[in-house]
Chain A
């Protein structure tokens, strides 16, 4: 089994169109084990039942934002080592530096091409 067959990903974004765009792109990479959630808390509940290797999360969401979500992941025993890719609206330096301090693995500014997403993921988990 190749890495893309085994890789489990959850996509977290409150906008269903953005979620759909990312999950379709992942599907195009051959990543089939993909779940999605519309906010951080429901994502945390899903991960408790279905652990993942990689979280792809938007920054701006109602409830916990992307960085607060990252903090919650790094504070939990079962999720502290999970890969985290932050999708940001703009490459805000403060957001990125705070994210790095919290243990963010990579970030990707919008808008992005499928190849950008692929590169960002491969930088975290290795070649798909």
Chain B
């Protein structure tokens, strides 16, 4: 009996690359960085070559490849699938429920108490931009549910550039080890035991969320403004000019006095500061007085 896995492991055993995988030449690094810039606006300096090598090593192993030049050739064939796998390998961080919990405290204590039941009116709209495997939008949905709001009262749009993680997010299955941010009560109320080690989100929680694949640098669906945008640890991967455009697009797409939550190392730039008021740690509020003509700048 021959198993493909045996063949592959035998082949990789023949090349002692270790966990870091094959060597990443400077030329190959620039090919990859160029594609990442073109495809997703990622700004990867030479100083991050080691990070690129580590993160892509696993992908090369999965493909049974032993050098980066062959991998670049696949990417340069304009293979959208592999490009998106690469972008995802370069940008995906391990996320967890209630990451940077102060944002959820603000949502619970400052934003949701003002949301009356909205039946028959427009629901509160929250965008989880860069939702990865879904922990962020599900944490938001738990807060909505705990505030007594129904999906008719408040909704979450969850988007990510990577269609595979969107699929994972929709399924909402998490290993016990990934549920650390949840209280025992939240886990018991909103999740079912999926198998011996995993939990799955209940449909009653999932129905607050619409999951969509979306590249933040492309056109956004033309729709109503958001009351809250979570975009955390996403724009750090973008270069300054891309970030600058994004801040303004967020401003355009936020309702008056809407909130924007960013990751711990992210700040809006000076050009966008006219549209926002800083109201907490990496927490911004849309300044309703300014910037009615922002669209002209975009």
Bind each other: yes
Q: Which residues of A contact B (CB under 8 A)?
A: 1-3, 6-8, 48-53, 77-82, 125-126
Knowing A49-B202, A49-B204, say if A126 contacts B120 (CB, 8 Å).
Answer: yes
Between A and B, 29 residue pairs with Cβ closer than 8 Å are A1-B152, A2-B120, A3-B119, A3-B120, A6-B120, A6-B150, A7-B119, A7-B152, A8-B150, A8-B152, A49-B189, A49-B190, A49-B202, A49-B205, A51-B145, A52-B150, A53-B119, A53-B150, A77-B146, A77-B147, A77-B148, A78-B146, A78-B148, A79-B148, A81-B117, A81-B148, A82-B148, A125-B119, A126-B119
CB A128 to nearest CB in B, in angstroms, measures 10
Do B204 and A50 touch (CB < 8 A)? yes
Chain A residues with Cβ below 8 Å from B202 are 49
Do B148 and A51 touch (CB < 8 A)? yes
Do A53 and B117 touch (CB < 8 A)? yes
Chain B residues with Cβ below 8 Å from A8 are 150, 152
CB B169 to nearest CB in A, in angstroms, measures 20
Q: A35 vs B148: C-alpha distance in the bound complex, in angstroms?
A: 16
Q: A82 vs B116: C-alpha distance in the bound complex, in angstroms?
A: 10
Chain A residues with Cβ below 8 Å from B165 are none
Q: A3 vs B148: C-alpha distance in the bound complex, in angstroms?
A: 17
Instruction: Determine the main DSSP class of A at the interface with B.
Output: loop
Chain A residues with Cβ below 8 Å from B152 are 1, 6-8
Chain B residues with Cβ below 8 Å from A79 are 148
Which residue, A8, A53, A77, A126, has most C-beta atoms of chain B within 10 A? A53
Chain A residues with Cβ below 8 Å from B252 are none
Quick check: is B260 within 8 A (CB to CB) of the other chain? no
0/1 interface trace, chain B 126-167, chain A, CB 8 Å (1 if under): 000000000000000000011111101000000000000000
Q: A81 vs B189: C-alpha distance in the bound complex, in angstroms?
A: 21
Q: A48 vs B205: C-alpha distance in the bound complex, in angstroms?
A: 11
Do A51 and B120 touch (CB < 8 A)? no
Chain B residues with Cβ below 8 Å from A50 are 204
Of all chain A residues, the one with the shortest Cβ separation from B113 is A77
Q: A36 vs B148: C-alpha distance in the bound complex, in angstroms?
A: 17
Given A81-B116, A81-B148, A126-B119: 12 more A-B contacts, CB < 8 Å: A1-B152, A3-B119, A6-B120, A6-B150, A6-B152, A8-B152, A49-B189, A50-B204, A51-B150, A53-B119, A79-B148, A125-B119
CB B20 to nearest CB in A, in angstroms, measures 46
Q: A82 vs B148: C-alpha distance in the bound complex, in angstroms?
A: 8
Chain A residues with Cβ below 8 Å from B150 are 6, 8, 51-53
Q: A53 vs B148: C-alpha distance in the bound complex, in angstroms?
A: 9
Chain B residues with Cβ below 8 Å from A125 are 119
Q: A8 vs B151: C-alpha distance in the bound complex, in angstroms?
A: 10
Chain A residues with Cβ below 8 Å from B120 are 2-3, 6, 126
Of all chain A residues, the one with the shortest Cβ separation from B119 is A6
Chain B residues with Cβ below 8 Å from A81 are 116-117, 148
Of all chain A residues, the one with the shortest Cβ separation from B154 is A51
Nearest first, the 8 A-B pairs at minimum CB distance are: A6-B152, A78-B148, A3-B120, A51-B148, A49-B204, A6-B119, A51-B150, A8-B150
Chain B residues with Cβ below 8 Å from A2 are 120
Q: A50 vs B205: C-alpha distance in the bound complex, in angstroms?
A: 8
Q: A49 vs B202: C-alpha distance in the bound complex, in angstroms?
A: 9
